[in-house]
């Protein structure tokens, strides 16, 4: 991997490579030979650990990645994705998927390896870990990277994230290769029209089969019609948790009544109505979902 200093890219470059049991770290300025350090380790695990440690170290010193190579194209294994969709909460399945991605050696590999070397992650430090290929075309990358980079990434995929009801953002989200296996999705809305359009559009997203937790952040009183794609299970057929963070002026009785009579209710395990929990508790069909 080649890195450049974030404050002055022309001043300092650092290339980190692993050749078998040897890790080579080459520091140099543009047009100069610079300094080469060769670090030999006793076994492959130690060499890989040293390679990852060197990468973490240069990020901590203010460097960012420079993409000067061509990765294999992104690939998807339908059987592995179906395995995740069957039980997105099973961490073992995500580990199997991560191993498969690592075997591919594409752009997702660097995200997985970087995550494995850190207990916590600073989004500003890892911004360069998300190349455009993960977000579709270049315009989608510019639209999505700052939002999805702050989400939860597992096995080179976004597992939990938040989006707003912006048509361009939603379209890019649906098309992005990295959002195929989203398990937890937050949607921030400011009006009924945008919310309904977003929910209908997401009905075509590959992640509709994997979404298990949906959170609606509603900055406005919402009408029942705008929530129809959720209650009719169009958006997430296997949804098990629904968080409704509704506006303080929301008339909640129609919302809860529609939920009680919807096909969604039998499959829900948890309902979080936020400040309106006391209202939901009055409905026998909803009360058990609030107590879990």
Are residues 149 and 56 part of one domain? no
Domain boundary among 10, 34, 66: 66
The structure tokens listed for 246 are 């509704």
> Average model confidence (pLDDT) for the chain?
86
In a domain, 72, yes or no: no
Reduce the DSSP state of residue 114 to 3 states and report it.
helix
Q: Are 236 and 214 in contact (CB under 8 A)?
A: yes
In a domain, 71, yes or no: no
In a domain, 175, yes or no: yes
- Convert the pLDDT of each residue in 126-151 to its tens digit: 444 566 678 776 666 666 655 675 68
- The reported pLDDT for the residue numbered 125 is 45
- The reported pLDDT for the residue numbered 127 is 43
Are residues 40 and 85 part of one domain? no
Of 1-5, 170-174, 204-208, 215-219, the poorest mean pLDDT is in 1-5
Are residues 29 and 124 part of one domain? no
The domain total for the chain is 2
Distances (CA, A) of 285 to 19, 234, 280: 62, 22, 9
Are residues 286 and 184 part of one domain? yes
Q: What pLDDT band is residue 69 in, cutting at 50, 70 and 90?
A: low
CA atoms within 13 A on the CB side of 14: 21
* Range of 1-5, 56-60, 77-81 with top mean pLDDT: 77-81
- The reported pLDDT for the residue numbered 124 is 40
Are residues 151 and 22 part of one domain? no
Name the residue range of residue 256's domain: 78-290
- Convert the pLDDT of each residue in 77-105 to its tens digit: 999 999 999 999 999 999 999 999 988 88
Q: Percentage of residues in the chain with pLDDT exceeding 90?
A: 54
Q: What pLDDT band is residue 227 in, cutting at 50, 70 and 90?
A: very high
- The reported pLDDT for the residue numbered 119 is 47
* Alpha helices in 87-223, H assignment, sequence order: 91-104, 108-116, 123-126, 138-148, 167-175, 192-202
- Give the DSSP H or E segment for 38: strand 35-40
- The reported pLDDT for the residue numbered 188 is 94
Q: What pLDDT band is residue 208 in, cutting at 50, 70 and 90?
A: very high
Say yes or no to pLDDT of 8 above 80: no
The structure tokens listed for 185 are 């999705």
- With tokens 């000067």, the residue in question is 68
* Alpha helices in the chain, H assignment, sequence order: 44-60, 78-86, 91-104, 108-116, 123-126, 138-148, 167-175, 192-202, 224-231, 252-260, 277-281, 287-290
């Amino acid at each position: 991997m080649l890195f450049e200093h974030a404050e002055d890219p022309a001043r300092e470059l650092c290339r980190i490579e692993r050749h078998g049991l040897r890790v080579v770290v080459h520091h140099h300025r543009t047009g100069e030979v610079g300094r080469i350090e060769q670090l030999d380790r006793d076994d492959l695990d130690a060499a890989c650990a040293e390679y990852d440690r060197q990468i973490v170290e240069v990020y901590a010193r203010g460097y960012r990645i420079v993409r000067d190579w061509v990765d294999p194209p992104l690939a998807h294994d339908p059987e592995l994705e179906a395995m995740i969709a069957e039980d997105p909460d099973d961490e073992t399945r995500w580990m199997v998927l991560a191993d498969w991605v690592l075997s591919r050696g594409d752009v997702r590999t660097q995200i997985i390896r970087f995550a494995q070397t850190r207990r916590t992650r600073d989004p500003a430090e890892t911004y360069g870990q998300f190349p455009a290929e993960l977000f579709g075309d270049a315009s989608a990358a510019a639209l999505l990277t700052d939002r999805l980079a702050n989400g939860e990434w597992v096995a080179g995929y976004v597992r939990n994230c938040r989006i707003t009801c912006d048509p361009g953002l939603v379209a890019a989200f649906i098309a992005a290769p990295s959002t195929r296996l989203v398990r937890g999705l937050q949607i921030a809305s400011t009006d009924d029209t945008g919310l309904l359009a977003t929910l209908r559009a997401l009905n075509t997203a590959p992640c509709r089969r994997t979404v298990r937790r949906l959170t609606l952040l509603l900055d406005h009183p919402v009408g029942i019609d705008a929530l129809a794609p959720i209650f009719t299970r169009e958006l997430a057929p296997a949804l098990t948790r629904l968080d409704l963070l509704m506006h303080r002026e929301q008339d909640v009785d129609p919302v809860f009544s529609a939920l009680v009579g919807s096909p969604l209710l039998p499959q829900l395990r948890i309902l979080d109505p936020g400040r309106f929990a006391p209202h939901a508790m009055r409905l026998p069909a909803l009360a058990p979902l609030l107590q879990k």
